[in-house]
Structures are given as structure tokens and as C-alpha cells.
Amino acid sequence: MSAVTDPHDLVDKVVAELPERLPAQRWFGGKDRPVTSVRPLRTTVLGEDPLLVHLVVEVAQPDRRAPYQLLVTDLAEDYDATADPELAGRLLDLVAEGAEVDGLRFAHEPGVELEAGLRGRPITSEQSNTSLVFGSQYILKLFRKLTTGENPDLVLHRALHRVGCEHIAQPLGSITGELDGEPTTVGMLQQFLPDAVDGWAMATTSVRDLMAEGDLHADEVGGDFAGEAQRLGQAVATVHADLERALGTQRADAGDIDRTVRNMVARLDSVVAAVPELRPYVPALREAFDRARDTPGAVAIQHIHGDLHLGQVLRTVQGWLLIDFEGEPGAPIAERTALRSPLRDVAGMLRSFDYAAHQLLVGQPEDHQLAVRALEWSRRNRAAFTEGYAEAAAESVGDPRGRGYLLRAFELDKAVYEVSYEYANRPEWLTVPLSSIARITGEGVR
């Protein structure tokens, strides 16, 4: 294609085509509604030949407007500069130089020296942002949907690194722009772990091994995951303790707990209005949420991960790492940065073990033998994870098993969220959270 020489012409073209192109981008978070209009908020020219332009646009949809970040070039048919290894490398060089271009600030963390001149390639895994990998050293995450201010992913990584946390990838640099007159994180550079395997892949492989093993039980087959699950529990508890050391802890008062319970009930009401399959469980769910008020002793609240599941943990030669401290991408920023009980993260991980076990049953609900094995795998690994967590838990948090009502309420709240998600996106998966809700409300507190 012919090169567009004027950056403004390029931006005009991109903006004009975006309403049609956006729904096909996997990082676009507004696929549920049409795009009504796109307008450029800020344009920064980072390179002239070939053109490399940093662009922040506002995407308008019915009842919603959100800023998104793009890197565009005239070199590619789809204008996407992140797919071009040389242009991606330019971003790393700017961070290494500590450059500032028209208010866009590229910085390395204090004391960090970066190798420049590396080419960058986008990672291929499904993600809500876009990450570029440089050699086997660095990974740069470009946040797609922007939130005004410092991104919690960067804030929490810095805080954890400051106290020497061993279960994160070291933060190495950042890119900061401006949104609504406030400095706003648009990128984060981190140490890349080339040998990392993600927790979801490991866990589901273990489940598949068990299913293939005929009569053997989870503790007898080669792919047993319980040792890993226990070490993962220790890692999560250690990260919580490190977050507490770095940023402090508070005690939830009666008002906080009341608000938490009311939010869970409100979510239940809104989900049940849309998903009739949830109706039979409403009385038991309401009772379980109400029971969270009966949690004995003080409930600690602090900064937590906020969106913890097996896809947000990496197994490396050094052990388990937690990544992506941005919180639930769909939730409002006030909720994502609020102090919350670490048991929410524990509940998130327990739900994820349940998912890893039961996803193989989707599409074959009448296979009783498989169902028994899935439950066995889930029980074994959930118990191992909780055991590991208890071994390394900070005093303020304690053993999750001593906070059964609260933990159960958090788990059920998450499962209610999953019901709404599956109903909207993968109706054939609805049985996974629904059967968990049936089981958890039927069992009582362990």
C-alpha cells in the first residue's frame, strides 16, 4: 500500500475506519453494543519514516464512552504498529532512553538499565490488553482501555517489588500519558519469564490425565497437581502478606461488611432477573450472603489482586508468580482499588480449580464417571491450595478455613457473576457455575 506521509491524514483514516474495525479486535471491551462514533483525544508522533503514531481515541457507544489506546503506522494494511517488530522495538528504545515526546513519558524504573535495539513481537495468548515480548528479556503491556490515573497493575507491582516480593515479575519501566488532565499509565514494562507455563494450562492437563486414567484416583496418577496447588496457595498468601507490608491493612467495620453483603445481594437480584435458571437457588444464596455478617473476629481488608484465577499465575523454575494486578477489567476503578478481604482472591482461585475440573464435562453432562472424577480432582486441589495458603498466611488474615461463612459468600458471589457471564457468552457452560452453586449451598460450611 502507498505510504501516507502526513500523520494527520493517517489519524483521520484510522479514526474513520475504527467504528467498523473495533468489534473485530480481541482487546475491544465493548462488543455487546454498536460503536456510534470514534474521536481522537490525543495524537503523539513517535516516528516519521515509517510513521509511528501513538493515538488515544474516545469510543462512543449507547450509554457508554471509553478511551482506548492505539499505536498506528502507515506501513501495515490494518495500521497496527504493534505487529511490526521494528516499530515495537522503537517503544522499548524510548523506555531505555527515558524519552519524553509531547507529554508522553517513557521511563525505566530507578536503577534499571535496559538493553535497547531488540525487536518486539506480540504474544499470541488471548488477552484484554496487548503485550509485546522483546528477546527473552522483557514484556511490555500496552493497556488498551484506559483508566485515568496510575494503573493499579503498575502501582501494586512497584509496591511488591519495593518489599522484595519473590512471586512477581520485576517491573522495569512505564509509559505515562495524560487523560482528563491527569498523568495516566498507558504501558508497563516487566521482566519476561521465557520458561513460564500458565496455571490454567498446567491444571487442565492434570485433569485430562486423570480422566484418561480409567480406575486410578487423583493421588495415583502422574499428573497429580496437589503439590503445585499447595505451593500456589503459599505463593498467594505470601503476596498478600507482602501487599500488607507494603501498603498496610485495616479492619473492616460493620458498615464495610454490611455494604459487601448488600452488593452481593444486589448482584444476585440483577443476575436472577436475566437468568431464570438461577431462581431455585435464590433463598439459599441470600442466606449464605447474610451469614457473612456472622464471621467471627475482625476481618482484615487490604490491597489484593482482585481478579485472581489460574490464568493469572505462571509456574517458573523459581516457583509460582502472580501477574496482572489490574483487577476485573469490567469493574469500575473505585471498586478495583478499594481495600478488600484477601479471601476474595482465595475464593477466585477456588472457583478456578472448580472450573478447571468441570470444563471437561461441558457437552457430556450424562457421563457420571467423569463427573465423579472431576469432583475428586477439584476437592483434592482446592484443599491443597487452602492448606498451602494457611501455612503462609499473614496473622491478620489467618487460616481461610476459620472464616468459612465469609469465604463461602465470596465464592458464591463469584459463581453468580460467572452465571451472568456464561449466560451472555457461552450458554452451554452455564451448568459449571450452577452445579457449583447447588453443591456449595447444599453442603453448608465445611
Binding mask 314-353 for Mg ion (x = CB under 5 A): ----------x-----------------------------
Is-contact 382 226, C-beta < 8 A? Answer: no
How many angstroms separate the CA atoms of 71 and 153, rounded?
A: 21
Residue closer to ligand ADP, measured from CB, 190 or 420: 190
Parallel, antiparallel or unpaired: strands 138-142 and 130-134:
antiparallel
Q: Which does 125 bind (CB under 5 to 8 A by kind): Mg ion, ligand ADP, none?
A: ligand ADP
Q: Which does 378 bind (CB under 5 to 8 A by kind): Mg ion, ligand ADP, none?
A: none
Binding residue for ligand ADP (CB under 6 A) from 86, 198, 209, 376?
Answer: 198
Q: Which of residues 39-58 bind ligand ADP (CB under 6 A)?
A: none
Q: Which does 352 bind (CB under 5 to 8 A by kind): ligand ADP, Mg ion, none?
A: none
Q: Name the closest residue to ligand ADP (Cβ).
A: 127
* Total binding residues toward ligand ADP, as defined by CB under 6 A: 21
Residue closer to ligand ADP, measured from CB, 305 or 373: 305
Residue closer to ligand ADP, measured from CB, 141 or 408: 141
Q: Which does 229 bind (CB under 5 to 8 A by kind): Mg ion, ligand ADP, none?
A: none
Q: How far is the CB of 323 from Mg ion (least distance, A)?
A: 7
Q: How far is the CB of 305 from Mg ion (least distance, A)?
A: 11
Residue closer to ligand ADP, measured from CB, 193 or 361: 193
C-alpha closest to that of 327 among 115, 122, 153, 130: 153
CA distances from 442 to 155, 206, 284, 414, 436 (A): 40, 27, 8, 17, 10
How many angstroms separate the CA atoms of 281 and 275, rounded?
A: 12
CA distances from 314 to 167, 232, 318, 392 (A): 9, 10, 10, 19
Binding residue for ligand ADP (CB under 6 A) from 96, 159, 193, 313?
Answer: 193
Q: Which stretch binds ligand ADP (CB under 6 A): 127-135, 348-356, 385-393, 404-412?
A: 127-135
Q: Which does 129 bind (CB under 5 to 8 A by kind): Mg ion, ligand ADP, none?
A: ligand ADP
Residue closer to ligand ADP, measured from CB, 104 or 314: 314
Q: Which does 169 bind (CB under 5 to 8 A by kind): Mg ion, ligand ADP, none?
A: ligand ADP
Q: Which does 170 bind (CB under 5 to 8 A by kind): ligand ADP, Mg ion, none?
A: none
Report the DSSP beta bridge partners of residue 405: none
Regarding 186 and contact with ligand ADP (CB under 6 A), the answer is no
Q: How far is the CB of 324 from Mg ion (least distance, A)?
A: 4
Where on the chain is the footprint of ligand ADP (CB under 6 A)?
123, 125, 127-129, 131, 139, 141, 169, 190-193, 196, 198, 311-312, 314, 323-324, 326
Where on the chain is the footprint of Mg ion (CB under 5 A)?
324
